[in-house]
Amino acid sequence: MDLELTDRVAVVTGASKGIGLATVRTLLDEGARVVAVSRSRTSELEDLASKELTHVTADLTEPDAPARAIAAAAEAYGGVDVVVNNAGGPPPGAKLPRFTFMSLTDDDWREMFEFNLLSAVRAARAAIPLMLERGGGAIVNVSTVNARQPGAMNFDYAATKAGLSNLTMSLSDAYASQGIRVNTVSPGPVRTPWWTDDGGAADIIAAQAGASREEVLDSVAPSMMNLATGRLVSAQEVADAIVWVASPRSASTIGSDVVVDGGLLKTV
């Protein structure tokens, strides 16, 4: 299927690994020109180097960083057609999951909102005028199933993603008639460095469950979350959904939430 993304200009945040890296790779495969935004470059991102890829080094918790990334896309490729607000999860220096509410400080909450919600607000604010100049575009906000199904953990993270999902609906209502589609893609647990890095989610859960990291990744976490597939989601599976939602082939997908969760959600 031709997703009609050839020569479209896409900005992807959190692009150096995991879902973001898979999204960059998939967009390039579809013929898009991509601005990859991350705090640092990884060897995997370097392997994708071409004239169709520009890297912007930015910490998206800094208020001016999203606008700088959008401006870099306009400078490099003449405009912006797609924004994928993928950067999110634990802010720099933080680790998830966090199992308590009372230990979270105001600074913890502020940092989580800066990284997961305000970075997307700022990127959209910078990109929408450029999209309107080109007759429209697509914004894909990467949320989480925890925005719909909160539990007794990750209180600050779930709240920010619920806010992001609400923002998506509001922006969609405001701009759909002007050709800008805004949607969310909500992953479940995805086998990314967030889980697999030393000290990451797998290690934290392993310490709680008395299991090894490998056992958590392969069986404990999928069982604990009652995943219908019996495994964590792959980054590529989420990237495929993101790129489809961003493409003109999904022109009537507006204000929707596309769930890629391995069957975690069991609600209608």
49 burial via Cβ count (<10 Å: 0-12, 13-18, 19+): exposed
Marked catalytic residue, from 77, 113, 115, 157 = 157
Residue 175 bears catalytic tag: no
Cα 261 to Cα 116: distance, rounded to the nearest angstrom: 19
Question: Hey, which residues are catalytic here?
Answer: 157
